Amino acid sequence: MTPKLFAADSVWTYPEFERNILGVAEALRERGVNDGTRVLLKAGNSAGYLSTLLALMHLGASIVLVDHQERAEDTRVVCAQSGVKLCLVDDDAPMPDGTPRTPIYELLVAGAGIHPSESRVTLDTWRQRSDAIIMWSSGSTGQPKGVVKQGQRFLGNLERNAAHMGHRPDDVLLPLLPFNHQYGISMVLIAWLVRCSLVIAPYRRIDRALVMASQTGATVVDATPASYRSMLNIIRRKPAAAAHVRSVRMFCSGAAPLDPGLVEEYERAFGLPLLDSYGSTEAGNVAFATLDNPVGTGRAMDGLALRVVDETGAFLPAGSVGEIQVRTPDLMEGYLAADGTLRETPRGWFATGDFGYLDAGDNLFVAGRKLAVHRKGYTLHPEIIEHKAAAGGCRARIIPVPDERDGCQLVFFVEDEDQREAQYWRGRLAELLPDYERPNQVRVLDRFPLNRNGKPDKKQLESLAAQATAPDTAAGETPARATAAQDTAVQATAVQETGAPTA
């Protein structure tokens, strides 16, 4: 099949799409964008987004990526700190007053009326920029940071990724991810670098995305664990829907921890493993499980190295949990300081702030963030406790709440579609965990609330935990849907499967 770009309402061959990109590039030149212009891109997934992104790369612009749903006030801070000269946006993107902006649709219209003077898109100038792309970390564990990346290192990381996974020109990539985050932009640009087909599907409407997978013959799906669980739920209700993904040769997962139980369910349902991965905005893509090595998050890509160290920095042997460090030529240049200057990151071993371990075959297993709390004289790491619970079949997210007497209380949110009572899960957790790691409270949700990046939304869970430990509610256990806030969180995630809240 000739490689194509598939969107919900149109299909392009690569030559057709390249002409579209060059037209947009000319329209951007007319608006003062050239080599080195700092431009913010704030839009949802679309062919227009991809045209604009590649046009900016062709011009050698410095591109600032933010989530298209980010609050206007947060975007104002990003623009000021980044020194943005122009914002390219969707019509409905929340934007601060007075910010210079151009709607992406306006660019597309203008570009369609231009006969480009160039015949091909080239990324050569962009590759040489030290500030080619500035990506804002999700802030899921703290304040978002501006991560500055050099063009060649950024694209080189994607080229390693494609080689490691065996992406090829006859593939049809279906990324069910936001394009403005590390994982999503990786996949759309890998499609461009490999010159394979790409499907732009509504990643929050898994039911529609499944139909597009069938229509386009998708061969590689990339999605978060939450999206894979939604896909499985749809197929359970409508077994015929499994035929939509019969052309898929790789199901790839990332952006959030992968539950071992979900991996087993996919192997039973499709005879294929869920291939986990590891990376970060700062370090880029690092390690991937593959079809011939579907173990943990796999091994580090060629040219990269991993190690695990203890609190003193001493190297830990295989099987021992500690902080993951990575040595990569693709590391970021540094963070943006508050005044917009660059705080450079030293080369060498980069401390990720994540816990995990390597097995005897150098496969990486990620346990979670390196976040410590103190409770009853013990130092605990909630995400390691979550890892233990998951290994025993309990999908939990733990929120520590300060407590004067014990240091903190641990509120466990358990994801259980069968809605078993909190007391059931308290008993299960007592079998899996020592006394000092057991929950003060258990709250059962049929689905974790998710943030815009497809990860469990820590801020929403913290709000629910605060309610759970308030004096008027802490005395007793209640099952899921104990509060209106929980109802809202559960309904919000249900939209991902069906397009409408469940009752």
Whole-number pLDDT of residue 138: 57
Of the candidate ranges 66-75, 122-131, 235-244, the one whose mean pLDDT is the lowest = 66-75
Whole-number pLDDT of residue 132: 97
What does the alpha-carbon distance between residue 373 and residue 26 come to, in Å, rounded to a whole number? 54
Mean pLDDT of the region 447-473: 81
User: Closest Cα partner for 161 from 297, 284, 256?
Assistant: 284
What does the alpha-carbon distance between residue 63 and residue 60 come to, in Å, rounded to a whole number? 9
Q: Which of 129, 144, 175 represents a domain boundary (last residue)?
A: 129
Burial of 193 (0-12, 13-18, 19+ CB in 10 A): middle
* Torsional class of 362: left (φ above 0), alpha (ψ -120 to 50), beta (otherwise): left
Q: What is the 3-state secondary structure (H, E, C) of 28-66?
A: HHHCCCCCCCEEEEECCCCHHHHHHHHHHHHHCCEEEEC
Mean pLDDT of the region 460-468: 88
Q: Which of 86, 108, 129 represents a domain boundary (last residue)?
A: 129
Mean pLDDT of the region 490-497: 37
Burial of 396 (0-12, 13-18, 19+ CB in 10 A): buried
Q: What is the 3-state secondary structure (H, E, C) of 249-283?
A: CEEEECCCCCCHHHHHHHHHHHCCCEECEEEECCC
The CATH number linked to 378 is: 3.30.300.30
The CATH number linked to 93 is: 3.40.50.980
Place of tokens 């913290």: 462
The one-letter code for the residue type at 172 is V
Whole-number pLDDT of residue 209: 96
Evaluate if residue 487 carries a pLDDT over 60.
no
Evaluate if residue 488 carries a pLDDT over 70.
no
In a domain, 300, yes or no: no
For the stretch 313-345, pLDDT in tens is: 999 999 998 999 999 999 999 999 988 899 999
Helix (H) or strand (E) holding 285: strand 284-288
In a domain, 405, yes or no: yes
Contact criterion met (CB below 8 Å) for 42 and 74: no
Of the candidate ranges 53-62, 88-97, 270-279, 387-396, the one whose mean pLDDT is the lowest = 387-396
Contact partners, residue 304, CB within 8 Å, separation at least 6: 160, 286, 287, 326, 327, 328, 329, 330
What are the C-alpha distances in Å from 288 to residues 155, 189, 254, 275, 285?
17, 17, 9, 7, 8
Evaluate if residue 28 carries a pLDDT over 60.
yes
Of 248 and 70, which is predicted with more confidence? 248
**Length, in residues, of the chain:** 503
What does the alpha-carbon distance between residue 426 and residue 56 come to, in Å, rounded to a whole number? 53
In a domain, 170, yes or no: no
What does the alpha-carbon distance between residue 17 and residue 359 come to, in Å, rounded to a whole number? 44
Q: Which of 129, 155, 189 represents a domain boundary (last residue)?
A: 129
User: Closest Cα partner for 203 from 195, 194, 183?
Assistant: 183
User: Closest Cα partner for 330 from 386, 286, 368, 278?
Assistant: 286
Catalogue the E-assigned strands of 378-424.
Answer: 378-380, 396-403, 407-415
For the stretch 107-151, pLDDT in tens is: 999 999 898 889 899 999 999 999 999 998 755 445 778 999 999
Evaluate if residue 472 carries a pLDDT over 60.
no
State how beta strands 38-42 and 86-89 pair.
parallel
What does the alpha-carbon distance between residue 42 and residue 96 come to, in Å, rounded to a whole number? 12
Whole-number pLDDT of residue 117: 85
Written as six digits, the tokens of 219 are 């061969």
What are the C-alpha distances in Å from 51 to residues 25, 189, 209?
9, 11, 21
In a domain, 244, yes or no: no
Of 269 and 496, which is predicted with more confidence? 269
In a domain, 316, yes or no: no
Contact criterion met (CB below 8 Å) for 21 and 54: yes
Evaluate if residue 496 carries a pLDDT over 50.
no
Evaluate if residue 483 carries a pLDDT over 50.
no
Q: Helices 206-216 & 225-237, crossing angle to 10 degrees?
A: 80
Contact criterion met (CB below 8 Å) for 390 and 396: yes
pTM above 0.85, yes or no: no
Contact criterion met (CB below 8 Å) for 288 and 296: no
Cα pseudo-dihedral 249, 5, 194, 246, rounded to 10: 0
* Torsional class of 19: left (φ above 0), alpha (ψ -120 to 50), beta (otherwise): alpha
What does the alpha-carbon distance between residue 68 and residue 106 come to, in Å, rounded to a whole number? 17
Map residue 320 onto helix, strand or coil: coil
Contact criterion met (CB below 8 Å) for 260 and 390: yes
* Torsional class of 296: left (φ above 0), alpha (ψ -120 to 50), beta (otherwise): left
Contact criterion met (CB below 8 Å) for 182 and 454: no
For 115, other C-beta atoms within 10 Å of its C-beta total 8
Query: What percent of the chain lies above the pLDDT cut of 70?
Result: 92
Place of tokens 């830990």: 316
State how beta strands 133-136 and 62-65 pair.
parallel
Evaluate if residue 304 carries a pLDDT over 90.
yes
Written as six digits, the tokens of 203 are 């990643």
Domain, as residue range, for 79: 14-129
What does the alpha-carbon distance between residue 45 and residue 299 come to, in Å, rounded to a whole number? 30
Mean pLDDT, the chain, as a whole number?
88
Contact criterion met (CB below 8 Å) for 201 and 9: no
Of 369 and 307, which is predicted with more confidence? 307
For the stretch 341-389, pLDDT in tens is: 999 999 999 999 898 999 999 999 998 787 778 777 677 888 888 888 9
In a domain, 30, yes or no: yes
In a domain, 94, yes or no: yes
Give me the number of domains the chain comprises. Answer: 2
In a domain, 483, yes or no: yes
